[in-house]
Each structure stands twice: as C-alpha cells, then as structure tokens.
Amino acid sequence: GIQVEQSPPDLILQEGANSTLRCNFSDSVNNLQWFHQNPWGQLINLFYIPSGTKQNGRLSATTVATERYSLLYISSSQTTDSGVYFCAVLGNDMRFGAGTRLTVKP
C-alpha cells in the first residue's frame, strides 16, 4: 500500500513563530487531506488538497502531486494550534502518516 511519511515528528515553537510541516507519499493518490487532532481525539479537517495551494486564515497548504509531497504552513502560531497534525492520502483507501506533534509555547 501507499506509504506516508511526515516530518518532523515533533515541533516546539514560541507563540508567533511560523512553521512548515511536510508529508511525503510513495505513489499517486486520488486526494490528500490535512487534519488536526484535538485533545479529545476528534480529527478536524483542515484542507482537502489533492493538488495546488489553498489558504484558510493563518493556515495554508500546497500539494505537488507529481513530486509526491504536501506542505502545511502555519503562520503566527498560537497556543491553540498545539496538537497533532496528520496528513492522509487516498489511494484505494485513506492512509495516514504518523503525525507531527506541535507544541506552541506562550
């Protein structure tokens, strides 16, 4: 099946800093989603982005499908951005990376 690798595994930032999370995948995919998992386990969809660039407030994402990677940008980070960010790709089914645990310190 498709392999999904996320980096870095852990990221610690001061409030106000910017960050870039990366997702590499091993094969062509039908779609790609970025999720934020809150402390209660709910996976919140951030972006549905099989290709191209999208922006939503302080967050933006870019997927280069031909090179099999996606990037999630978080600007002016806030403590509420803390949590685990997952990239998931859809081939025949949706496969998740191991996640990036982001901690934003005040």
Partner 1 sequence: DAGVTQSPTHLIKTRGQQVTLRCSPKSGHDTVSWYQQALGQGPQFIFQYYEEEERQRGNFPDRFSGHQFPNYSSELNVNALLLGDSALYLCASSSGVHYGYTFGSGTRLTVV
Note the residues at the interface with partner 1 (CB under 8 A). 30-31, 33, 35, 40-43, 45, 48, 86, 88, 90, 92-99
Closest CA to 30 of 82, 101, 94: 94
Closest contact distance (angstroms) between CB of 29 and partner 1 is 10
Q: Which is nearer to partner 1, 13 or 49 (CB)?
A: 49
Closest contact distance (angstroms) between CB of 94 and partner 1 is 6
Q: Which is nearer to partner 1, 71 or 90 (CB)?
A: 90
The Cα–Cα gap between 24 and 8 comes to 11
- Which two tokens mark 73? 């940008």
Closest contact distance (angstroms) between CB of 45 and partner 1 is 7
Q: Which is nearer to partner 1, 17 or 43 (CB)?
A: 43
The Cα–Cα gap between 34 and 4 comes to 12
- Residue 66: phi and psi, rounded to 5, are -65, -25
